[in-house]
Structure 1
Amino acid sequence: MTDLPPRCAGVLLRGCGSATPARSISNDELGDRVETSDTWIRSRTGIAARRIVGREESLTALSAKAAEAALQMAGWSADSLDLILLATSTPDDLFGSAPRLQARIGAVRAAAFDVTAACSGFLFAVITAAQYLRCGAMQRILVVGADQLSRWVDWDDRRSCVLFGDAAGALVLEASIDGQDDLGGFLLRSDGSRGDVLQLPHHRDHLPLVGSASHQKGGFESIQMNGQEVYKFAVREVPAILDALLQKTGASAEQLDWLLLHQANQRILDAVAERFSIPQSKVLSNLASYGNTSAATIPLMLDEAVRDGRIQAGHRIASSGFGAGLSWGAALLRWSGPA
C-alpha cells in the first residue's frame, strides 16, 4: 500500500449493488438461432447463459436498481451524493445517461456524467472518483458500471453473439481522513493503435446536404472483434500490469484474498491466476451465468461475492479491467463495507 500525499484523503468502499435483466438466454437457446452448441461455447469461453434487456427494461432502470442497492447497503440517502459517474458504452441517450440516473434515484445534489472506456470503464471510473475524494473536493460518490451490449451484437454472428450480456453494478465510495485507504494503488493504460481488434464503429454513410456538400448519417455498426487478437492482448497485458502494480506498491500475490478480473473469458481468468500462482478458490468468476457485460462485470461480481459472504471487511482484492480501446488497468482494493 502506498503512502498518501500530505492532506490527501483516503478512499473507502462503503456499499455495492447490482441488477440484471429478468430474461436469461441459455447456450442451447442460442443454438436455435445460430449454428452453435452448449459444449462449443462452454469449452471456449466458460459461458453458459447471459441476461438480455427486455421490452419493459432499460439501461437506466438497471443502473438505478444497482445504485439504490449500493446506497441501501451503505446506509446513505441519494441526496447525500456529491457525484455520479456512469461507466457505459451503450447509453440510453448518446448525450449521456448519468443525468437520467441522477434524476431517477433522487440524487438532487449530485453532478453526473458518463465515462466511456468499454470493458475497462468501471475501473477507470472508480479511479477517477478516487481523485475527487482524495483532493477533498467531494465526500461521497456513486460509480455505476452498466452496459446493454445486446443492442449492438450481430445475433447472426456465432463468433461474437455467444459472448455478451446486459447488466449493471454499482459501488459507493467515501473520503476518509483517518488514514484508512481502500485504494492501495492503480495503473492505467491505453493503446489506440490496436483499437480495431475490438470496436463498435460509426457508420460511414454520407447523404446529400446542399449543393456539393454532404453530411454523415448517425448510427453504428455491430460489435466487431478479432477474438484471437483480443485473447492474446488480455493474457499478455493483464499479468504485466498486475505485476507492475504489485511491484509499485510493494505487495505480493500471496497477500491477496481475491483476484477480481473483468469477466470476458474463463481461459483468461485461469491464465492470469496461473501466472501468479493464485489458487482457483481465490479467483472470482460468475461468467457462466452472465457472459461479458462489459463495464458491469467487475461490480456485478463484487456485489455477488460481498452479499454471499465470500468478501469480508478487510479483504484485499487485485482487480483488472481490459478491453476495447484498447484500454486496460489494474487496482489494488480493500473492502471496508458499511461504517
Structure 2
Amino acid sequence: MSTTISPRARIAATGSYIPDFRLTNDALSRMVETNDEWIRERTGIAERRINTTLSNREMAVIAAKRALDASGLDPLDIDIVIASTVTNDNYSPALACYVQADIGASNAFAFDVNAGCSGFVYALDTASAFISAARPGTKPVRHVLIVCSENLSRITDYTDRSSCILFGDGAGAAIVSADDSHGLLSTYIRTDGTGADAITARALAPVIDNGDGTVSNNDASVKAGLVMNGREVYRFAVKAVPEAVEGALAAADLTAADLKYLVMHQANARIIASAVERLGIDPEKAPMNMERYGNTSSASVPILLDELNRAGKLSRGDKLAIAGFGSGLTYGVAIIEW
C-alpha cells in the first residue's frame, strides 16, 4: 500500500516596495507635540516611509512583480493570489483581483484576507492549506502569490501624537510553492475578539435619521480613520506573541534554540524586546527594521523577510518563526524551514 505525503508550502521567493519619502521624527515634531528622543525611546522608530505618489494597488503590484521575477515563474504559473490589506483603495473588489490582473496571472483565483498586522501569517497558513489539500476534480495548487500592501498614511490622524508617530507605508510579497521536503512546519493562530475595538479603522459615520424623512452620515462626533488603544495593544502583544511562538514550536517538535530568526511584525521595539526576553532568545536572532520604516501593518513581515533574503542571510534549511499580531485582536506564528 502506497502512502501519499502532502507537499509543504515553502517560501520560494520574496519582493517588496518601500516609498521614497521619509517622514522623520524631527519633521513630526513640527506637526504635533513630540520629539525624536520621546519617539525613539517608546517605539524604536526614527523615520517612516510615506507613499505620496502611488495607489495601494500600485505598491502591491510592484512588490508582487519583484517576488515573481525572483522566483523565475511565469505569471500563468500562479494558481492563487492572496492579498492582505487594511487600506484597500476601494471597499470592493479585493486588492488581490487587481494584482491578479496587473501581473497577468490569469490562471489564478484571487481573494483578500483581513487580519490586520497578522495578515501575512494568516495568508501563509491559508496558502499552505490549499497546497496540501487533495481536492478531487481540481488541479493541484503549486504556486501561491501572497502580497501585503498598506497605505496607512491614508488613514492616519496626523493630529494624534500617540498614533501618527507609528505608521508607515509599504508592500511585501512572497511566492509560496509546493515542496516535498522544506516549507511550513506548523502554525499557531488565534483570535481574541473581545479586544476588537483596541485597533479600528473607521471609514464612515453611521447613518442618522434626521427626523424629516431624510438621513445623513456626517456626525462630527464619530472619528474616522485609524484609532488605537496603544496600552491595551501592548499588554496583548507581550503575552500573545510568546504564547504563539511556544505553541508553534511545540507543534513542530522544536525549541527556541533551533531558530535562526524570530521574524516579528515590526510594531514596536519594546514589544519585540519583551518577547525575546520571555522566550529566552538571543536579541540578535530578532532582526528589526522599524527604525527606518515604522509600523507597516501586514506588510512589515514580508518586507523584513525580503530584506533578509536579499542580503543573503537566509539559507536552505534555516528554521524561522514568523510572528504577526494586530487588529482583531489577531495573532499567529508560523514555523518554517527555508
Fold similarity call, TM over 0.5 = yes
Q: Which residue of 2 aligns with 1:62?
A: 59
CA distance in 1, matches of 2:237, 2:127: 25
Taking structure 1 as reference, are residues 128 and 216 closer, same or farther at Cα in structure 2, changes over 3 Å only?
farther
What is the one-letter code of the residue matched to 1:61?
A: E
SS of residue paired to 2:159: coil
Shift of 1:6: 4.5
8 Å contact from structure 1 (residues 189, 328) kept in 2: yes
User: Which runs of at least 4 in structure 1 moved beyond 4 Å after TM superposition?
Assistant: 207-220
CA distance in 2, matches of 1:217, 1:13: 46
Shift of 1:163: 0.2
| Match for residue 86 of structure 2 among 89, 93, 99 | 89
CA distance in 2, matches of 1:213, 1:138: 51
SS of residue paired to 1:193: helix
Q: Which residue of 1 aligns with 2:300?
A: 297
8 Å contact from structure 2 (residues 182, 317) kept in 1: no
Q: Which residue of 2 aligns with 1:116?
A: 114
What is the one-letter code of the residue matched to 1:198?
A: I
Taking structure 1 as reference, are residues 135 and 220 closer, same or farther at Cα in structure 2, changes over 3 Å only?
farther
Judge which range, 322-331 or 245-254, deviates more.
245-254
SS of residue paired to 1:200: strand
Shift of 1:181: 3.3
Gaps of 5+ in 2: 135-139
Q: Which residue of 2 aligns with 1:51?
A: 49
Q: Which residue of 2 aligns with 1:22?
A: 20
Pairing of 1:264-283 with structure 2 (within 5 A): 264-283=267-286
- TM, length-normalised to structure 1: 0.92
What is the one-letter code of the residue matched to 1:79?
A: L
CA distance in 2, matches of 1:70, 1:159: 34
Q: Which residue of 2 aligns with 1:235?
A: 238
Judge which range, 231-240 or 191-200, deviates more.
191-200
Shift of 1:272: 0.8
Shift of 1:201: 2.9
Taking structure 1 as reference, are residues 297 and 325 closer, same or farther at Cα in structure 2, changes over 3 Å only?
same
CA distance in 2, matches of 1:9, 1:32: 53
**Deviations 1:165-222, CA, capped at 9 Å, x for gaps:** 011000001113x3x1310100111111111111123433325599757576899712
What is the one-letter code of the residue matched to 1:26?
A: T
Q: Which residue of 2 aligns with 1:195?
A: 196
Judge which range, 219-228 or 160-169, deviates more.
219-228
Q: Which residue of 1 aligns with 2:183?
A: 182
What is the one-letter code of the residue matched to 1:289?
A: R
Judge which range, 199-208 or 143-152, deviates more.
199-208
Shift of 1:249: 2.0
8 Å contact from structure 1 (residues 84, 113) kept in 2: yes
**Deviations 1:127-185, CA, capped at 9 Å, x for gaps:** 10111111153111100111111111100100000000011000001113x3x131010
Q: Which residue of 1 aligns with 2:207?
A: 206
* 1:257 maps onto 2:292 in alignment: no
- TM, length-normalised to structure 2: 0.92
8 Å contact from structure 1 (residues 140, 174) kept in 2: yes
Matched residue count? 328
Pairing of 1:117-156 with structure 2 (within 5 A): 117-136=115-134, 137-156=140-159
Judge which range, 203-212 or 59-68, deviates more.
203-212
What is the one-letter code of the residue matched to 1:269?
A: I
Gaps of 5+ in 1: none
8 Å contact from structure 1 (residues 200, 220) kept in 2: no
What fraction of aligned residue pairs are identical, expressed as a percent? 37
